[in-house]
Structure 1
């Protein structure tokens, strides 16, 4: 039974694209209303996935990255300066006069790192320590950085409960990561292959649940017409640009490795769209949320395609 489950888990790990697409499709056609219970399930699933991912990382590896935070700091620069600038300029050029869409792209590109960046980094054998440090640092600076950012760029002070948001991110990322690394270092044989196999399989199911629930919540807010189709196409470009910024940004480092590049690609490319939607719907007119909603159509499918594109690129430059 364990051998079969291990083979199934490995098969799913190599075909995450299918999990993402099926979860998106089923979510969009499912009549599920947003609720506190669903949000709790999403937070719990994220926490579990992060915990399982951290089981393969030691405190020593994490602290080595934390002592030299140049790469995570550079990731935050790409996320909170370069990406928003590109999104804002894209909105100004392609949606002249449509201030709501321009603002939507700016808000979407300014959201913090998505928790799934750690999961995808682990799935593709990237440097999980870099991803964990980047997400943790972002968790700590976002409550201070975002209000200042919107005040300067938009000229509007936002009254947001960032403390609650920070607590949620800490519960989803920081706490389970620390617990997972602690168990890794002090397990002393407790984590047998069988236990890891079961834990990894449940993690795949949790990943499906997170995408499914988010798609089900977002689906009803999409009204398909010509203007929406234009937003869909431009959003595809911006999501792809996010991953590309992470990839090109990795060339800043002379000792760049495959593991570092993958961590940067996912950390820069994957954003916390759920938070972006809450931010837009809570403090701006509803049209601002439309471009942000479209990000969910591409982020996970593109994330699943990255390993294949990365391997082809590496072979082409070898």
Structure 2
């Protein structure tokens, strides 16, 4: 039975674009009202996904990479410093009169690194340890960065319960991460098989449910008209710029090699859109959630395109 779950998990893992797309379509076709039950379910499912991912992480590996923290710290600066500024600037250019769309683009650019960036880094032959540390470190600092960040940017325009946001972020990402790594160390990796079989398969089902729930909540706010085509084009532009920022950011590294470049491209380019959608729906007006949720349409396809481009250019990427 375990082997069967491993095959199912691998099957879904290779087809995440279609999993996300199907969840989006299901959510858009079955709109639901926002309720406390759905919000709580989204948070719980997301915490479960984070926990399963952390089961494959060791504190020892995390500390080893942290002994030379400059590359992951530089990645975090690109993610939480440069990328949000680019998103806000592009929003100001294309939507000077629509504050909520600009805010949605800002949320999309400032949320944590996607856990799936580790998978894509591995598939492309990149530095998995570096990607893992960046994701883990980002998970640990986000609960303290994002509330302060939005308080500075939008605190005078939208009233938010930053204390509640902080604790929800801790429950969604930080606590499950520490719990997963702690259990992994205590069991000496014995649950690794579970994380690659039953746990991995059910976490992808959880991802499907989170995406579908979030899409169904924002579906009433999406109006299929020419203005939506413009918004989709802007989101695609920001998605491409995110991956490009990772590559450009790698150019200043002293010890630059293809493994590090690949990790930077995926870590800087990929955002945890499911988390962003939960955050946007929970703390902002519905209009803000639309750009965040629509970003799901482009992230995985762009990751696939980057993967094939890297396969073609791998011999020269470290030059």
Give the drift of 1:221: 0.8
d(CA) in 2 for partners of 1:24 and 1:165? Answer: 25
Of the candidates 133, 141, 157, which is equivalent to residue 137 of structure 2?
133
Structure 1 pair 300–44 and aligned structure 2 pair: CA distance change class (3 A): farther
1:199 maps to 199
Instruction: Please give the alpha-carbon distance, in whole angstroms, between the structure 2 residues aligned to 1:189 and 1:101.
Output: 45
> Closer, same or farther in 2 for the Cα pair 1:227/1:240, shift >3 Å?
same
Deviation at 1:306, TM superposition (A): 4.3
Q: State the 1:239 CA deviation.
A: 1.9
Q: Distance in 1 between matches of 2:201 and 2:117?
A: 15
- Alignment-derived partner of residue 74 in structure 1: 74
SS in 1 for 2:295: helix
How far is the alpha carbon of 1:75 from its aligned partner? 2.6
Alpha-carbon spacing, 1:170–1:233, altered in 2? closer, same or farther (3 Å): same
Counterpart check, 1:273 vs 2:272: no
State whether residues 104 and 280 of structure 1, in contact with CA within 8 Å, keep that contact through their aligned partners in structure 2.
no
State the 1:304 CA deviation.
Answer: 5.3
Aligned partner of 1:173 in structure 2 is: 173
2:125 matched to which residue of 1? Answer: none
Partner of 1:54: 54
Where do 5+ consecutive residues of structure 2 fail to align?
Answer: 123-127
Cα distance in 1 for partners of 2:202, 2:288 equals: 36
Distance in 2, matches of 1:196 and 1:102, equals 38
The offset of 1:264, in angstroms, is: 3.5
Deviations 1:236-272 (A, max 9, x none): 1112212221232233323345554454344433154
Normalising by the residue count of structure 1, what TM-score does the alignment of the two structures yield?
A: 0.83
Deviation per CA, 1:48-84, whole angstroms, max 9, x where unpaired?
1111111221101122344443233323322233223
**Aligned pair in 2 of structure 1 residues 102, 236: CA closer, same or farther (>3 Å)?**
same
Aligned residues: 307
In the alignment, structure 1 segments of 5+ residues that lack a partner are none
Q: Deviations over 1:254-306 (max 9, x none)?
A: 3345554454344433154322454441xxxx766554453343334434554
The 5 A counterparts of 1:58-137 are 58-95=58-95, 97-100=96-99, 103-104=102-103, 107-109=106-108, 111-113=110-112, 117-122=114-119, 124-125=121-122, 126=128, 127-137=131-141
Q: CA deviation at 1:128?
A: 1.2
The C-alpha deviation readout for 1:106-148, integer Å capped at 9, x for no partner, is 533553215xx12432464232122111221222222223312
SS in 2 for 1:48: helix
What pairs with 1:238-249 in structure 2 (closer than 5 Å)? Answer: 238-249=238-249
| Structure 2 counterpart SS, 1:252 | coil
Distance in 2 (alpha carbons) for counterparts of 1:175 and 1:25: 31
Partners of 2:159 and 2:65 lie apart in 1 by 34
Cα displacement string for residues 158-201 of structure 1 (whole angstroms, at most 9, x for unaligned residues): 53212211211111211111111112212146427367411111
For 2:150, the equivalent position in structure 1 comes to: 146
User: Per-residue deviation at 1:316?
Assistant: 6.5
The 5 Å alignment of 1:222-261 reads 222-256=222-256, 260-261=260-261
